[in-house]
Amino acid sequence: MRYLSKILIGFIVLFSTLISCDTVSRKTEDTAKKSDETLRESLEKANRYLVRAEDQQIEDYVRRHQLNMTKTGTGLRYVVVQEGRGDSIKKGEVVQFEYVTKLLTGDIIYSSKELGIKQFVVGKGGVESGLEEAVLKLKRGDAAIIILPSHLAFGLLGDEQKIPARSPLIYEIEILKNQ
């Protein structure tokens, strides 16, 4: 009987230890989850602030230059400054254009005069997502000013050459009529 009581007491101690460890483990997990949620909320709040600040910089640029631009749901802005007579551009087509790429400061960073005409197949990638979105709103022969927010351009890192991190880009482009 005495042997059985020792086993029973040992089992109770073991069971109590396991329960307390599980409780500590759950509390640790809950604390970690709350910490992760707090961090995520802080990062989301900071990102919303940065997006609003960038959007305001773009709006200030548009106002200063008195541009009557259309804004899409993604934040892309564009205005056709010279109407072309060609067809609308569609996915799968090759598009060629002359361009000047600038920062909001007005600094020219790239141009077709130095690098040559830009060409890509629409919908296949290989260019900034905002540029693809913009050319789908244009016709062959159109000249346009396009502003890409950083998330539609080169994002958090820039291009690691001339475009700084988190930089909106201005494209002044002229779509060539035919290849």
DSSP classification of residue 139: B
User: pLDDT value at position 28?
Assistant: 67
pLDDT tens per residue across span 67-89: 999 999 999 999 999 999 989 99
CA distance 95 to 93: 6
pLDDT tens per residue across span 1-52: 566 566 656 556 555 665 665 655 566 667 767 778 888 888 888 888 888 9
CA 14 to chain centre: 53
Mean pLDDT for the stretch of residues 80-107: 94
Average pLDDT, rounded, for the chain: 87
Six-digit token pair at 178? 């035919």
User: pLDDT value at position 9?
Assistant: 67
User: pLDDT value at position 3?
Assistant: 60
Within a 13 Å sphere around the CA of 19, how many CA atoms are in the beta-carbon half?
A: 6
Residue boundaries of the structural domains of the chain? 1-66, 70-175
Confidence of residue 128 (pLDDT cuts 50, 70, 90): very high
Pick the CATH number of 70-175 from 3.10.50.40, 3.40.50.300, 3.80.10.10, 2.60.40.10: 3.10.50.40
